[in-house]
Amino acid sequence: MHILTQNLRMGRGNLLGFGIGLAALSLVSVLFLPSIQESGQELQRLINSMPKGMLAAFGVSEEVDLFTPEGFLQGRLFALMVPLLLIIQGVGIGSATIAGEEERGQLEVVAAHPVGRTRLFLEKLGVLVVALLFSSLLLFLSVWLGLQVVGVSLPLSHQLAAVSGSFLLGLLFGGLALALGAWNGRRAAALGLASLTAVVTYLWNALAPLNKDLADSQKFSPFYLATGYEPLRNGFDWAYTAILLGITLLVLALGLLRFRQRDIGV
């Protein structure tokens, strides 16, 4: 666990700053809920006047009532903003932990010690998981606190389901960046390909329902698996959660397999 703890200690400032910033942003957003509900009719007319494609690009669909607590949190936080921020964190860490260190010549020094490739990969994965869990915990606490302040009651399990979906998206794309970096040792390639995949799958989830021929394919998007079933209203969907986690584990397994076989720094 030395590699894990050393990496966390060196990055604790960024970890704290990101987590606190995400929590503060989420708390402020929740505190706007009463004023949004009071202005419901005017805002609804504005929303109705906007093109469906524009609304879909921001994660707003006809099925989501933005003036209920569940719909507001889904549209304001969990459709785009929170997943995006956790994906940014995950991809940034995932691309830096192996590929970034390899490009700087630091990974060869670590690998020269009696540390197996599997252990090295898993401890770098541990850095990603701990960072995302810390941010997700602060996010959960900020949403819960905000709802308490505005006097709105939502089941804790539903709040946890929404936060967990965003965490799993961060883990999927962060894990993809980690696996790509472990595959070829190129940070820019890992960062770029993981980010591009996140953007494409988000647009797929947002825009596919606008075309009746593509609507059914939306359910194959990771974003739908994480948030499309409206966890704030329906709670956990364990089947979707298991599929998303399974995809993540497959990506990581492929990255580990390649990392164990290739030369470092070549």
Inside any domain, residue 266: no
Q: How confident is the model at residue 2 (pLDDT cuts 50, 70, 90)?
A: confident
Phi and psi angles of residue 79, each rounded to the nearest 5 degrees, phi first: -80, -35
Inside any domain, residue 198: yes
Q: How confident is the model at residue 189 (pLDDT cuts 50, 70, 90)?
A: very high
Give the total number of structural domains in the chain: 1
pTM > 0.85: yes or no? yes
Inside any domain, residue 144: yes
Inside any domain, residue 106: yes
Inside any domain, residue 18: yes
Q: How confident is the model at residue 144 (pLDDT cuts 50, 70, 90)?
A: very high
Inside any domain, residue 168: yes
Q: What is the pLDDT of residue 62?
A: 57
Give the range of the structural domain holding residue 84, as residue numbers without chain letter: 2-261
Inside any domain, residue 97: yes
- Contacts of 252 by beta carbon, 8 Å cutoff, 6+ apart: 125, 175, 178, 179
Q: Which residue, among 93, 99, 265, has the nearest Cα to 180 in the 3D structure? A: 99
CA distances from 62 to 51, 52, 178 (A): 12, 9, 36
How many other C-beta atoms lie within 10 A of the C-beta of residue 238? 9
Q: What is the pLDDT of residue 35?
A: 80
